[in-house]
Each structure stands twice: as structure tokens, then as C-alpha cells.
Structure 1
Amino acid sequence: MRVGLFALGIGTGARPGAILKTAAEAERRGISTLWVGEHVVLFDRQDSKYPYAASGEFPLPGGADWLDPFITLTFAAAVTRTIRLATGICLVPEHNPMVLAKEVASLDRLSGGRFALGVGIGWSAEEFAALGIPFERRAQRTREYIEVMRRLWSDDTATFHGEFVNFDAAKSFPKPVRGGKLPIIFGGESGPALKRTADIGDGWFGFNVGPDDAAPLVDKLRAMLKANGRDPRDVEIVACPYTKKITADDLKKYDAAGVDELVILSSPPEDESQVSGWIERIAREWVEPAAKIR
């Protein structure tokens, strides 16, 4: 089992020195993936309910530092060579898909083909409103945008006519290293979210998924994949406990459930000189035990 790290781009993980040191040390100690999340704007108060808190309250204040994930990952890519880079997640319906396709392809090329696009449809109606994008039909918008981007990444000359996007004979270069097969990993734990993965995803990222939650969700996803005639072994399974408290003993439960990568959420220390020690602890507590399972 692999271990990823969700640590960069927010709060103490938004500082240049912390990003560079964390990325380099994480790669050195065998962490599989650096995951970076996305919000364009935050609010001190909003009516939308955050899905990962019982109170519905988002855990960060509106004034929290939150970097753009693509710039953050490009910065990290410059000091690494092998560690995977991924959005966890990118709010795809908040983007212009032509621009997003270019950003993804650029990051993937500059990193030598190490990027995976983690995708979500968003939960904050206030954020969509601030960006001037309809909150309704965001799931349908996301599916179409994914199709558009894969077309741009695959075809030398791309044409598309859909509900939200229309263009003829467009060229977008460079392509990602794997072209249209750049991995797209869908987030979300609901039935519709799992169905998106089963229909068009290369992977699934379950957030706030405890060791006992993983198996039922993975089983449901596998059933959907089989119903679609897809081999479940071709779809990556990623899980992050987030608020769920776990121990190293729980790694076996995640493995038995079929989880390929467990993502540890942890913020870099305030003192950047302590980043190396922080990564060492994560490696001892999670990376080394996980490596022994498979």
C-alpha cells in the first residue's frame, strides 16, 4: 500500500520554504503523492453545508491562506523528480475547460508526466455565485468538461459541440505525456459520485473515509464498474481518513478493502527547520508500515 500526503497549499503549507522542503523530503522518504486542494474564495459565513463536518461549518476562516493548486504543484515539481503530483481536488466546473486543459497539460509536461487530476464538483453555492457560474447542473458540466479536456489532450485538431462548450478545429499543445490517458480521479462518496468514477474515472478519492467505511464504498464502486463492463483493477482507489482517527493497525483494514493509497492529512510545522523531522515521523508511522503490507 502506498501513502500520500495532503499538506501543501493551505496555512503553514502555503509558504514557499515549506512547500519546497516538504516536497523534497516527502520524495526522499517514499511518500507516493503530494495532494493539493482547491478553493478560489472562502467566506466567514455561508449557508452551504460543508459535507465533512457534522455541523456543516467549513473548518477554515475566510482569511486563511489557500494557494492555487496548479501553481503550488508546479513549484513542488521543480525540486522533485519522481513523486506524483495531484489535485485533491480540483473544482472542475468552476474552470473554463480550455484553460484548465492547458494548465493540466503544462504541469504534466513540466513534471515529466507525474500529474493526476483529482476532480470534484464542489459544494459551496456561494463560491460558484462569486465566480458567476451556475451551481445547478454542475455535475453535468463536470462530465462535459472532462470529455472536452480529454479530446483536447488526445486530438491534434479537436472539435466539440455540447451543452456548455462549443468549438471547431481547435489545437492545444503541448499534450500531457500520456495524452488523453492522463489519470482523472473523482472525489466524492455519494452514489452519483461513485457512478462518475465508474462511468469515466481512472480512480476514486474517498475523503473522510475511515477504515470501516472503506470496504462498503469500494464494494459499491466495484459493482458499478463491473456493471459497466470495466475491470475494477484498472481503477485506482485512494482514501483519506481526514477527521477519522486511525492507527497503523488500520492500514490492514484499508488494504483488505482494496485501497491502493492512503492519504495522510497533516500541516507542516510553523518552524520550517522542523519539516525534515515532521516528514520522518510520517514515514516511520505510515510509509514504512504500509510498505510491509504488500
Structure 2
Amino acid sequence: MRLGITMFATDQTMPPHELAIAVEERGFSSLYLPEHTHIPTSRLTPSAATLATSGVGASGFLRGTSGDETLSESYARTLDPFVSLAMAASVTSTLTLGTGVALLAQREPIGTAKAVATLQHLSGGRFVLGAGYGWNVEEAADHGVVWHERRALVGERIAAMRALWRDEVAAYKGAHVALSPSWAWPKADVPVLLGGGGGPKLFAAIAAHGDGWLPIGGAGIAEALPRLAAAYEAAGRDPETAVVIPFGSLPTPGKLARFAELGIRETVLRVTSGTRDAVLRELDAHTGFLAS
């Protein structure tokens, strides 16, 4: 099984291009970086259920104006993943580079398609677009996102971006996205993996316009895989083509062995958002799982 790495890269952590070098040197297969453009001080949205055990290891916490929620400071300090991964691409040669995850509801699709295609072109085809819908209502609202429309919005943006990556004359018309017949290069073949909980809405979206699933942590994956396969079959797609990469997992030999039994070919392990010395210690510890 291939093993990758993810870390909340911030202005206080080991720089992501240096992390990429260390990850590749140690034999890991991929590096994924998350995205948050900003964090409104209001904590009206309850923090994601996984935050309490996410292990992001920020130096402090941000208390919102509501006073009853705290959020890891890493969220407000997150570096832009596309800029960071472009730097990582320039200092590596084999490492797969991905977003884990990009918040496409908050991104204008034409410019994002250009950035992704450029990164795919310059990296020699090593980029994977991990995408998600987001959980922070206040953050999305500042981008003009209507919360209950975000899933449909992301689906249309992916469809429009795929047209730009694929077609000599690209065009798209939907309820949320419109693209007049247009020229855009470079063209790119970009895998799109959707992150989130394994529910029917997500699996239908993956079957409709994705290439696979990034299940956070990987808990409950055995029970979810048949439902993902059923969604693919309902969409007329071959379930065997679905890529499934447990994401942000804390490794144990038993967990990785179970993933392998389920046919999982890659797992992305998380490391603490920290200084160079702290991160390298964790990477070195994780190398013990590379032979499993």
C-alpha cells in the first residue's frame, strides 16, 4: 500500500516545500494540503466534530465572538494550497501533490481551472484535486455561498472545470455556472476526489462527477464501500474505477492491514502542524509503516 502525508501548513509550521522534500526522500507517495481562505471571528457554526481529535497541534486556539466554541489556530493560518503545492512541485520529481481538500464552493471556477491545469502541466501530471463542500457557514458566506446550494454549486463548478481541461472549445451552462464557448490551455487530465462523510448525497456526487472518495480517517469504510459501489452502478459507472484513499489517518499496523484487505491502495497519514524538528520526528516514525 502506498502511504502519503497531510499536514495543516501554516505560517508557523515547517514550510510545505521543505516538507515535500522530506516526504519524498523518505519514500512516501503523496503530499496533500488543506484549504481555508480565512476564519470569521464569529463561532456561530459549531466546529466540525473531528476537530477535538484532529491532532492538528496548533500553538493556540481561537475563541469566537459567541464565546462558546474554540477552533484550532491552524485554520486561520492555513497557507494557500495551490501556491504551496506549486513550490513543492518545483523541488520534487515523483511525489503526487494534492489538495485535501480545496473548498470549491468558495472558488471561482475559471481561474481555479487555470491554476489546476497549470500545476498539472508544470508538475508533469502529478496533481490530484481533492475537493470538499466545507463546514464553516460564516467562511462560505463571505464568499457569497448560499449554504443549501453549495453541493449543486460544487458539482457545476467541477463540470465547468472539466470542460475547460478537456475541450478545445469549452462551454457550460447550469443553474449556478455559465461559461460561454471559450479557448483555454493547457489541457489537463485531473483526478477529482471528493472528501466527506460516506452518505448517499456524497456518493451520488462522486458517481456523477468525481473519480473517487477521500474518507476522513477511514472509520466505517468497510460498511460504506458497498454503498459507494451501488452509487456507481446506479450512475452506469464501473465501481472498480472508484479511487478510495483514507485521508488524515493515524496509522496502526492493524488499521493499515484492514485497509489493504478492503482493496485500498493508498492511505494518507497526518502529521502534526508544527516545526521542522517536530514534523521530521513524526515522519521518521511513520516510515516504519512503509513496508507494511
Query: Which interval holds the TM-score relative to the shorter structure?
Result: 0.7 to 0.9
Partner of 1:292: none
1:90 paired to 2:99: no
Q: 5 Å matches for 1:177-196?
A: 178=189, 182-189=190-197, 190-196=199-205
* Shift in CA distance, 274/192, structure 1 to aligned 2, threshold 3 Å: closer
* Shift in CA distance, 274/21, structure 1 to aligned 2, threshold 3 Å: farther
CA contact (8 A) 1:188 1:205 kept: yes
Residue type at the aligned position of 1:147: A
Among all aligned residue pairs of Structure 1 and Structure 2, give the percentage whose two residues are the same amino acid: 30
Displacement, 1:241?
Answer: 5.2
Partner of 1:36: 33
1:224 paired to 2:221: no
Partner of 1:215: 222
Residue type at the aligned position of 2:18: K
1:234-292 per-residue CA deviation (whole Å, 9 max, x = no partner) reads: 111111355xx65212211112233222111112652x3565544222111x2222xxx
Partner of 1:4: 4
Partner of 2:22: 25
Unaligned stretches of 5+ in structure 2? 53-67
Residue type at the aligned position of 1:9: A
CA contact (8 A) 2:36 2:76 kept: no
* Shift in CA distance, 39/138, structure 1 to aligned 2, threshold 3 Å: same
User: 1:8 & 1:76 partners in 2: Cα distance?
Assistant: 15
Residue range with higher mean Cα deviation, 156-165 or 182-191: 156-165
Displacement, 1:138?
Answer: 0.7
Partner of 2:59: none
User: 2:12 & 2:223 partners in 1: Cα distance?
Assistant: 35
User: 2:192 & 2:170 partners in 1: Cα distance?
Assistant: 20
* Shift in CA distance, 260/58, structure 1 to aligned 2, threshold 3 Å: farther
Partner of 1:152: 164
Output the TM-score relative to the length of structure 2: 0.86
Displacement, 1:39?
Answer: 0.8
* Shift in CA distance, 84/62, structure 1 to aligned 2, threshold 3 Å: closer
Partner of 2:240: 233
Displacement, 1:133?
Answer: 2.6
Residue type at the aligned position of 1:260: R
User: 1:267 & 1:11 partners in 2: Cα distance?
Assistant: 14
What is the alpha-carbon root mean square deviation over aligned residues?
2.3
Displacement, 1:54?
Answer: 8.1
1:280 paired to 2:284: yes
Q: 5 Å matches for 1:238-249?
A: 238-240=245-247, 242=249, 246-249=251-254
Unaligned stretches of 5+ in structure 1? 290-294
Partner of 2:63: none
